[in-house]
Homo-oligomer: A and B are copies of this chain.
Amino acid sequence: MTMKVAEPTVERLVQYCRLLEQLHDEGRRVVSSQEIGDMLGLKASQVRKDLSYFGEIGKRGVGYHVDRLFEHIRSILSPPHHWKIALVGAGRLGEALLGYKAFKSDKFNIEAVFDVDPDKTGTTVAGIPCYHPDSLPQVLKEKNIEVLILTIPASAAQAVVDLAAKAGTLKGVLTFAPTTLVAPEGVLIYGVDISVELEKLLFYLKHGEL
């Protein structure tokens, strides 16, 4: 099933998913759009519109069945595809991500790590084999890796993306480098800049309003 879903909607779907998991653990059986909205800071009508994009899943007069809704959203978010991911940059941020609980998932797996540090290449980092970035094209092709996570300085980011694209297997990049990257043909680049987020918070603190 291919369906056009707006960016803000995807973000909320992920949040619903996480919330439903929590509710399940608490033994909750049903939940209403109003309750979901209150817990997530959204309007009930927004919640209903999001959930109804994919067919009628709730029961009128009752609400949504927690487990059923969870499985439903999960199947929309994670298609039957297992992603192979490589992480470039085994510094503190890279290692933090490797150890991050929420990063263990059955949707994807981190298959390789790359770092310039000669103490790390040739060994394993957090149980994952570590290579020198020079061998990006070979290793990506060999392991058929489609996604890259970049936790390297801004100055090295573009070169790594261009080199990795040579493997021909690369489909997407999640970068934490505080710089704008030019995407090679056929590669989707998604950036998270932590210092930008902090600046945004400070801006809103000063100027009031959310």
Name A residues whose Cβ lies closer than 8 Å to a Cβ of B.
2-5, 7, 10-11, 13-15, 18-19, 22, 39-41, 77-79, 81, 83, 91-93, 95-97, 99-103, 105, 107-108, 146-147, 149, 153, 171-172, 174, 178-180, 188, 190, 192-210
Contact = CB atoms under 8 A, between A and B. Distances in A.
Contact of A196 (B11, B93, B195, B209): B11
Contact of A194 (B19, B91, B97, B178): B97
Contacts of A153: 101
B190 A78 contact: no
Nearest to A105: B195
A79 B15 contact: no
A190 B197 contact: yes
